[in-house]
Amino acid sequence: MSELNDLYQEIILDHNKNPRNWGKIDLPSNFAEGFNPLCGDKIELYVNYNGDKIQDIKFEGNGCAISKASASVMTTMVKGKTKDEITKIYNEFHQIITEGCNHDHYIDENLEVFCGVKEYPGRVKCAALAWHTLNDILKRIDNNG
Amino acid sequence: MKNDPNCKFDVAKIRSDFPILSQKMNAKPLIYLDSAASTMKPRQVVESISDLYYGYYANIHRGVYLFSQISTEKYENARSVVKKYINAKYDEEIIFTRGATESINLIAHSYGRPNLKEGDEIIVTEMEHHANIVPWQQLCKETGAKLRYIPFDDKGELILEEYDKMVSNKTKIVSIVHISNSLGTINPVKYIFNKAKEVGAVTLLDASQSIQHVKVDVQELNCDFLAFSGHKIYGPTGIGILYGKLHLLEDMPPYQTGGDMIKSVSFERTLFADIPGRFEAGTQNIEGAIGLGAAIEYVSSIGLDEIAQYEHSLLEYANQKIREIPQVTIIGNAKQKASLISFLLEDIHPHDVGTIMDKLGIAVRTGQHCTEPTMKHFGITATTRASFAFYNTIDDINVFIEGIKQVIETFE
Ligand SMILES: Cc1ncc(COP(=O)(O)O)c(C=O)c1O
């Protein structure tokens, strides 16, 4: 299955099977739902934001391996980070899934597993779902001060 | 081919009519198992369209010159081909539309609106394609009529006792899918429509998934209306058929208005054309109609009985092979089933299955197949669906089964 290794890497399969930060937060400071009507993918994202950083983040939902792994990786990366820090990671992630990886530049090792997504145009939306949902939350945090 | 389907059915010859089947996809020989979504087109259909454009094209029903007359003749001949194929009584009962979706919308609009009122009921099944749900929901909103659904059991068979209880003199329209596109169930149309006729209801058959596989005789089945799309029966996209009984169509107002569908127009009023012209407003899809006619002639030349028998043998083989894989759960196990298999692979999401299959050159459909309520019945959001047509082979199925095994391996 060598052709598929670029997409279904060990790390993706592991996050799919054992998603990190899986579950709900009782009384979260922020909550958002994301849908991908094309696949029927769905994510519920729970965030505790303390005015400065994301203290805690959890998610639930159902979706394909790509969307689940992407959500799982995302939660591990943004926990304890400020909005500006997260925006930076988001921008890097977005570039990777739409334009691929330019290995002349530094790539966060957590995001490297998504380098192959660009080759699967039908799956870019799956990878982006969790991040778009988080973005909705960050925008709302912005508007509230 | 009479007794031994694998022996006499000349699938190699058929495949030579479909050049696309020799293409590669992702550098692998194409294994096309998505004919329920849309079928590939034989040379004969493509050539009927190039003959038109290179040889005699002109607008129809308008010019006095020869090419316009030939184009008109070919267009009208396609109507006769369809009429014969579904055993309608008159050519005028065949209306060209854009597809099954438009045909159903036309009936909801031009038959439903003027004839339904509050308290009336429309019956469909719980396994309809969205195209046979949403137009009726809209009609109900406008008229106050009520939409009722015949439930099905876990095998994917309609629960007819529930239907028997549902039918009453309130029932005005019974519209059902002949073969379910997500489960493959062949529904007992004759029983359902006979019952509908007992209470004077009008019947509509969504033949989108049956017209290319089994004999559909509108008179024998007691169909008042019938809808299907050309692109699922080896014809072009953008063309479809609405069949309606003459006396029903004659009383129906137009769906769209404009050129070609009139007898006379003055600034004060318009006299609408007789059927079928009344329902074919504007310049028509001439190439679509001619291509559909060629497609039906192609299917007829092979023979529906032969097709049904061969496709059934493919289904049986696929069923037997896929059941040997313990991780597979088949969704839809009706006794009467068309040649498609919807399935789950433990907790591997169908979109991951589809992506891995794609890399192997195998085209399968993944998702809800425009039948969200059907998925809901099984508590799932999506399946992987492989559908088999007469150009598929036992080898295709072997590759497909290997593909499933590779998916499982990847996720192990
Ligand atoms: C059972 C059934 N009905 C209706 C349709 C709608 O056909 P179209 O999209 O060509 O109008 C389909 C197509 O998927 C179908 O399978």
Name the percent of chain A in helix, strand, coil, to the closest 5: 50, 20, 30
Average pLDDT over residues B253-269: 84
Torsion of CA B225, B231, B233, B234, to 10 degrees: 160
**Overall average pLDDT of the B59-73 stretch:** 92
Measured between beta carbons, the chain B residues lying within 8 angstroms of A65 are 348-349, 352, 411
Residue-level pLDDT at B264: 83
Distance between B396 CA and the closest CA of chain A, angstroms: 19
pLDDT band at residue A144 under the 50/70/90 scheme: low
Q: Which of the four pLDDT bands, split at 50, 70 and 90, describes residue B395?
A: very high
Single out the residue in B271, B301, B331 at which a domain terminates. B301
* ipTM for the assembly: 0.84
Q: Is residue B2 part of a domain?
A: no
Cβ separation B355–A62 shorter than 8 A? no
Residues B33 and B139 in one domain: no
At CB < 8 Å, which residues of chain A contact B?
1, 3-4, 7-8, 13, 38-42, 62-66, 120, 122-123, 126
* Res. B1 pLDDT band, cuts 50 70 90: very low
Give the pLDDT of residue A145.
47
Note the Cα A136 to chain centre separation in Å: 13
| pLDDT band at residue B263 using 50, 70 and 90 as cut-offs | confident
**Mean pLDDT on B183-199:** 98
Does B295 lie in the same domain as B307? no
Same domain, B211 and B102: yes
Contact B349 A123 (CB under 8 A): no
Specify the pLDDT at position B7.
Answer: 53
pLDDT at A2 over 70: no
- Give the separation between CA B360 and CA B251, rounded to whole angstroms: 53
Number of domains making up chain B: 2
Q: Which of B7, B140, B223, B370 is catalytic?
A: B370
CATH for B159: 3.40.640.10
ω into residue B29 within 30 of 0, thus cis? no
The CA distance from A141 to B113, in Å, is: 49
- pLDDT tens digits, A98-123: 988 877 778 888 999 999 898 888 88
Q: Which residues of A touch B359 (CB under 8 A)?
A: 3-4
CB B202 within 8 A of CB B225: yes
In this structure, the answer to whether residues B179 and B204 fall within a common structural domain is yes
Nearest atom in ligand 1 to B36's CA: 16
**Domain at A50, CATH number:** 3.90.1010.10
The reply to whether B5 falls in a domain is no
Please give the Cα distance from B146 to B119 (Å, whole number): 7
**Region B48-53: what's the mean pLDDT?**
98
A132: left (phi over 0), alpha (psi -120 to 50) or beta: alpha
Which pLDDT score is estimated for A14?
93
CB B48 near ligand 1, within 6 Å: no
Which is nearest to B133 in space by CA: B142, B123, B143? B123
Position B224 scores a pLDDT of: 98
The residue whose CB lies within 8 Å of the most ligand 1 atoms, and thus the one to mutate among B229, B239, B292, B369, is: B229
Least confident range from A11-15, B77-81, B200-204, B324-328: namely A11-15
- pLDDT digit string (tens) for B279-335? 999 999 999 999 999 999 999 999 999 999 999 999 999 999 999 999 999 999 999
- Same structural domain for residues B222 and B258? yes
- Across the range B245-274, mean pLDDT stands at 87
**What is the CATH number for B312?**
3.90.1150.10
The counts of H helices and E strands in chain B are 15, 17
Contact A63 B359 (CB under 8 A): no
Task: For residue B56, tell me if it sits in a domain.
Answer: yes
In terms of Cβ atoms closer than 10 Å to its own Cβ (0-12, 13-18, 19+), residue B243 is buried
Which residues form the domain of A123?
A: 2-144
- Minimal-distance CA residue of chain B relative to A38: B367
Query: What are the structure tokens assigned to B198, written together?
Result: 């007992």
CA distance B47 to B19: 12
Reported as type and span, the H/E element at residue B351 is helix B350-359
Nearest to B292 by CA among B354, B372, B341, B230: B230
Pick from B131, B148, B142: nearest CA to B109: B142
Look at chain A and report how many structural domains it folds into: 1
With an 8 Å Cβ cutoff, the interface of chain B facing chain A consists of 26, 348-352, 355-356, 359, 366-368, 381-382, 406, 409-411
Let me know whether B376 and B366 are in one domain: yes
Find where tokens 């979109």 sit: B351
- B7 is annotated as an active-site residue: no
- Note the pLDDT of residue B227: 98
Which pLDDT band holds residue A5 (cuts at 50, 70, 90)?
low
pLDDT of res. A3: 56
The reply to whether B1 falls in a domain is no
**Position B230 in a domain:** yes
B154 touches B147 (CB < 8 A) = no
For A55-79, write each residue's pLDDT tens digit: 999 999 988 999 999 999 999 999 9
Same domain, B383 and B393: yes
Domain that holds residue B51: 46-301
In a domain, B3, yes or no: no
> Rounded to a whole number, what is the distance in Å from the CA of A48 to chain B's nearest CA?
30
Structure tokens at B165: 């209880």
Using the 3D structure, point to which of B301, B318, B343 is the last residue of a domain.
B301
- A92 min Cα distance to partner chain B (Å): 24
Rounded (10°) angle between helices B134-143 and B100-107: 20
Q: Would you say residue A89 has pLDDT above 80?
A: yes
- Choose among B351, B368, B410: nearest Cβ to A4: B410
The pLDDT of residue B268 is 82
Q: Are the CB atoms for B254 and B263 separated by under 8 Å?
A: no
Mean pLDDT for all residues in chain B: 95
**Secondary structure (DSSP) of B56-94:** I---TTT-SSHHHHHHHHHHHHHHHHHHHHTT-S-GGGE
pLDDT exceeds 70 at position B6: no
